[in-house]
Amino acid sequence: MKTASQETETKQPQKQPDKRFRVLDVTMKRSQYQQDSLIEVLHKAQEAFGYLEEDVLAYVAKHLKLPLSRVYGVATFYHLFMLKPGGAHTCVVCMGTACYVKGSDKILSNLEKEFQITAGETTADGQVSLVTARCIGACGIAPAIVFDGTVAGQQNSESVSKKLHQWQEEK
C-alpha cells in the first residue's frame, strides 16, 4: 500500500510542468515552510487550482512536513475551502440576518426549485454553482448576492434568476 506522499512522488514528474504548483512553491517558500502558514497556503492553492484536489493537499502536506490528516482536517473544517470543483460561475446568496429578514431565504428556495439544485451544488451543465454565505457584511443593501465576486445589492428572485439564465446561455 502506498502512502499519500509516495503517491505524490510518483505523480510528481507529470505535475512538474504545471505552473500552478510553482505558485504554491513560491507561497510556501515565502513563509519559510512554516507549518502555521497552512491556511494561507491552502487559500493560495484554491486560488490557483479552483478547488483543493487530493494531490494538492498531499503536495502541501509533504512540503510543510505535516501529516495529510492534519491538512485534510483543516481543509474540511473551514467553509471556504472546496474539495470539489465548482461551476464556471458562482452565485453566492447571503443568508445574513438582514438579508434573511428581507427575503433571501425565498430567493434561495426559488433558485433551488428553478435550477433543480440545492445550495452547494453545481448545475448539470457545469455553468453555475449556487453557494450560500453566512454574512458578507453588506447588510446596508440587503438582500445581497455575489455574482462571481461582484456584490450586487437589493436583489430579488427575478433579477437573480435572470442573471443565472444569462450565464447558462453563455455556453
Partner 1 sequence: MEWAELQEWADQARQKRKNIRVYCCTSTGCQASNSPAVKKAMDKAVKEANLGTEVQVVSVGCMGFCGQGPIVEVENSQDPNHYRLYEQVTPEQAPSIIKGLQGEIVTATPGNPNHPFFAHQLQIVREHSGQIDPESIEEYLAVGGYQGLHHSLFEMSPEEVVQEITRSGLRGRGGAGFPTGLKWSTVAKMPPGQKYVICNADEGDPGAFMDRSVLESDPHRIIEGMAIAGYAVGADHGYIYVRAEYPLAISRLEKAIKQAKRNNVLGTQIFGSAINFSVEIRVGAGAFVCGEETALIASVSGGRGVPRPRPPYPAVVGLYGKPTLINNVETLGNIAPIITKGADWYASIGTGKSKGTKIFSLTGNVIYNGLIEVPMGITLREIVEEMGGGVPNGGQVKAVQTGGPSGGCIPADQLDISVDYESLSAAGSMMGSGGMVVMDQDTSMVGVAKYYMEFCQEESCGKCIPCRAGTVQMYDLLKKLLAEEATAADLAQLQELCDMVKATSLCGLGQTSPNPVLSTLRYFESEYQDLLQPAMSKV
* Neighbour-count burial of 63, counting CB atoms closer than 10 A to its CB (0-12 exposed, 13-18 middle, 19+ buried): middle
Nearest approach, Cβ of 74 to partner 1 (angstroms)?
6
150 binds partner 1 (CB under 8 A): yes
Starting at the earlier edge strand, list the strands of the sheet with 128-133: 128-133, 89-94, 145-147, 150-152
Shortest CA distance to 51 belongs to which of 17, 75, 86? 86
135 binds partner 1 (CB under 8 A): yes
Which segment (21-29, 108-116, 128-136, 161-169) binds partner 1 by CB under 8 A? Answer: 128-136
Amino acid at 56: V
Q: Closer to partner 1 by CB, 133 or 164: give it.
A: 133
Question: Which residues, numbered 36-65, are part of the site for partner 1 (CB under 8 A)?
Answer: 36-40, 42-43
Q: Choose, by CB under 8 A, the member of 5, 62, 86, 100 that binds partner 1.
A: 100
- Kindly report whether the peptide bond that precedes residue 17 is cis, defined as omega within 30 degrees of 0: no
Binding site for partner 1 (CB under 8 A): 34-40, 42-43, 70, 73-74, 77-81, 95-98, 100-102, 133-142, 144, 150-153
